[in-house]
A and B are shown apart, each in its own frame.
Chain A
Amino acid sequence: QEYTARIGHLERAEQARHQGLEIVAELVRERTDGDVVFELFPAGQLGQAREMNEGVQLGVIEGTVSPAAFLSGFNPAVSILDVPFIYPADREAANALRTGAFGEAVLATFDEIGVNAIAIWPNGRKSFTSNKPLDSIEDFAGQEFRVMDSRVLISQFEAVGASAIALPFGELYTALQTGVVDGQENALDTISAMRYDEVQTNLLVSEHGANEDVVMFNPEWWNSLPEDYQTIIVEAFDEVRPQVEEIKEASQTAARERLEEAGMNIREITDEERNTLREMMYPQARDAYVAQTGAVANTIVEVYEAEYERIVE
């Protein structure tokens, strides 16, 4: 019998997420002798993030890989991943958090909303850009940054005295050009692909926010699979995770080189600044997270802080 999964996501075919999905699709096809087929639809062809997530929940499509930031409306517990400096700079330590008890706890919260979340994939780190100086932490005060609709992200900016303005992604380039907002936050490859270098002068490579992807399947489709196929799929996603991170890191490096060539004023955050920023942003954003999420948030934060202590400190 054949099992076909239509998997939609937002990124372009050249980007890490899609490349990773293609590798997974090939592995799964091989290991199930062609019984399980993944049909991939990149670039939002099947709709916006909200529609795809809802589609997986309701069985319109079988799978999606969604940035955690787009999932807060479905599963508020997942917003912990939007909290700034949730991961340390070190990639290995970050991966230990992602795949350990903390990551498991986040994935488990999806059961309640009728979605089978089987893996978290890394998708780079966010940095700040602005047309105003970003030479010190004090410089943030009074600047206006574009954010996605998210209380956690809004509190992140408030923690350093900046204001957060919610704007649709499609209008951001022009808004930066005309000065409706001073700055924004995104991963370096997004900054490069969207050509924000053309409308932004300063880049602070802060890597303050983790872009985490959640791999989700419709439970009904998932349960129709034989158990060994389920194992094959989960293992394939776990196996490919390091490759996805490699592709992403490579594209970040390439993007950084391009942004340098384009003449952006680029500055790397110092360890000291990172610690100060974490001390300012983390508690406030965490509290905003707990306030909007309720009881389950306390458990997640507990698991997270214990793991962070064990792995990082």
Chain B
Amino acid sequence: MGVAFISVFALVLLFLGFEMLLVLGVPGLLIKELYFTRLPDIAIGQRILGGVNHSTLLAIPFFLFAAEIMARGHIARHLTTMVKGFLGHRPGGMGYSTIAGSAAFGSVSGSAPATVAAMGRIMYPELRKAGYGEKISLGLIVSSAESALLIPPSITLIIYGWLTGTSITGLFAGGLVIGIFLSLAFAAYVMVEGKLSGRTGSAPMPWPDRMRAVRAAIWALGLPVIILGGIYSGTFTPTEAAAVSVIYAILVERVVYREMSLRDVYTIAGQAAITTSVIFVLLAMGSLVSYFITLAQVPGLVISFMETIEANWIVFLIVVNLVFLIAGMFIDPNSALLVLVPAFYPVALAFGIDPVHFGLIVCLNICIGMITPPFGLDIFVASSTLNKPVSAVIAGVWPFVGINIGTLVVVTYVPDLSTFLPRLLLG
């Protein structure tokens, strides 16, 4: 009863236009005062700070900073001109490039918000120039970043593996399949939408021009080479790659292209800091909300509810999907894992569900949680890095949420999709 009241209260704050940090924080305080009176107030300070005090989050400000340097300098333009040269004449070319680029960048960065920030900053203007509407451009950028959690390496899958003792190689193999499947589904949508809206490609670029574009992009191409090469050769971790990409971008803009002043670098650093602040305060407040969900032992209540209705495995998976989708509206992905997986996993095993299969259902749910309104972290990242109202991003995201839910149904009820590659690899 009280929970329902507080949820409604939060939604009212949301629709009245209160800052999102208040939409999460004020009900958080209310829950504390009403239901956890014995808990000292400092717990709130501890949780707020705890939500952002993680080393693995560092990749986000670093990639934000790097992307902003590239977008305001020459690197991004050279990269996109080259891509356009080769794919711009194909209908859907820029859309497919965004999907593929996000998959590549997301796979190595491992961070969906960082992918939205970096790819969005670079690809959004290009998509618009190529005739894509605002809605589909925003939706595509937000949702194609999901690959970050699905395509290996993925910290989400590693945490799941640790929580359940499932083979991480198996999870990674399954994640690769699901990540590619989802990307193809998005590409199919881009194709259909292009046909319906009558979008055509630009005139094909002649080969000499294409070669010229490649040559012009040579310094810009060094960046993906350094990031991918550095990570796969074991020179640095994804977070470190983020820091290296900032240094490389500044060096190339300053030394090769020579148009960016030190003053510009300073201004961009501050801008990236503000954007980080705007995004991370939501993680801080989300951590407060997830703390109370944990303390109230909500997952246990859901499990006992399912016991009373004697749910079968199909109902169980529907409930799992619903709980993760709802949780994804309020709390950050990794907290959702820690709180929900220990409760659901034994039940999943009891129903004979394959651990790798269950892991991918969970991971896909978490992906969807990041792009579903009203609280989807990736939606907010796109809104703040691209300076678009949240409502515009949400308007664009719906078709992709639909595709995601369709994919989720397939992944949930076709276990072989998740498990055939792991079985091939692990025997």
Contact = CB atoms under 8 A, between A and B. Distances in A.
Q: Touch between A and B in complex, CB under 8 Å? A: yes
Interface of A: 6, 12-14, 41-48, 51, 54-55, 58-60, 167-168, 170-171, 173-175, 177-180, 192-195, 198
A42 B231 CA distance: 33
Nearest to B169: A198
Interface of B: 39-40, 42-43, 46-47, 50, 53-56, 110, 153, 155, 158-159, 161-163, 165, 167-169, 231-239, 291, 294-295, 338-339, 342
Given A58-B46, A175-B234, A178-B231, 13 more contacts: A12-B162, A43-B342, A44-B338, A45-B338, A46-B291, A170-B56, A173-B158, A174-B110, A175-B237, A180-B237, A194-B158, A195-B167, A195-B168
Contacts of A198: 167-169
Given A47-B47, A55-B46, A174 B238 contact: yes
30 contacts: A12-B162, A12-B163, A12-B342, A13-B342, A41-B294, A42-B342, A44-B338, A47-B46, A48-B53, A51-B46, A51-B50, A54-B46, A58-B40, A60-B39, A60-B43, A60-B46, A170-B155, A171-B56, A171-B237, A173-B153, A174-B110, A174-B237, A175-B237, A193-B162, A194-B161, A194-B162, A195-B161, A195-B168, A198-B168, A198-B169
Given A179-B234, A194-B161, A195-B161, A46 B239 contact: no
A195 B169 contact: yes
A193 B295 contact: no
Contact of B42 (A45, A58, A180): A58
Nearest to B232: A178
For the complex of A and B, list the 4 residue pairs with the smallest distance between their C-beta atoms, beginning with the closest. Answer: A179-B234, A178-B234, A174-B153, A60-B43
Contacts of A167: 237
A59 B36 CA distance: 13
Q: Is the interface of B mostly helix, strand, loop or mixed?
A: helix
Contact of B40 (A46, A59, A173): A59
A136 B42 CA distance: 51
A177 B231 CA distance: 10
Contacts of A51: 46, 50
Contacts of A168: 54-56
Contacts of B235: 180
Contacts of A42: 342
B168 A6 contact: no
B20 to A, nearest CB: 23
Nearest to B171: A195
A60 B339 contact: no
A157 B232 CA distance: 26
A51 B165 CA distance: 25
Contacts of A177: 153
A14 B345 CA distance: 12
A170 to B, nearest CB: 5
A187 to B, nearest CB: 14
Nearest to A12: B163
A260 to B, nearest CB: 16
Contacts of B53: 48
Contacts of B339: 45
Contacts of A48: 50, 53
B227 to A, nearest CB: 13
A54 B235 CA distance: 35
Contacts of A194: 158, 161-162, 168
Contacts of A59: 40
Contacts of A180: 234-237
Nearest to B339: A45
A286 to B, nearest CB: 29
B46 A170 contact: no
A178 B233 contact: yes
A277 to B, nearest CB: 27
Contacts of A170: 56, 155, 158-159
A194 B40 CA distance: 35
Contacts of A171: 56, 155, 237-239
Nearest to A177: B153
A295 B239 CA distance: 39
A42 to B, nearest CB: 7
Nearest to A167: B237
A249 to B, nearest CB: 18
B104 to A, nearest CB: 16
Contacts of A45: 294, 338-339, 342
Contacts of B342: 12-13, 42-43, 45
A18 to B, nearest CB: 10
A177 B110 CA distance: 15
Contacts of B168: 173, 194-195, 198
B42 to A, nearest CB: 6
A49 to B, nearest CB: 11
B338 A43 contact: yes
A12 B341 CA distance: 11
B295 A6 contact: yes
A167 B237 CA distance: 9
A13 B110 CA distance: 27
A198 B422 CA distance: 13
B201 to A, nearest CB: 38
Given A6-B295, A167-B237, A60 B42 contact: yes
B6 to A, nearest CB: 21
B345 to A, nearest CB: 9
A61 to B, nearest CB: 8
Contacts of A12: 162-163, 342
A170 B155 CA distance: 7
Contacts of A44: 338
Contacts of B162: 12, 193-194
A177 B294 CA distance: 33
A206 to B, nearest CB: 23
B297 to A, nearest CB: 8
B334 to A, nearest CB: 9
A291 to B, nearest CB: 26
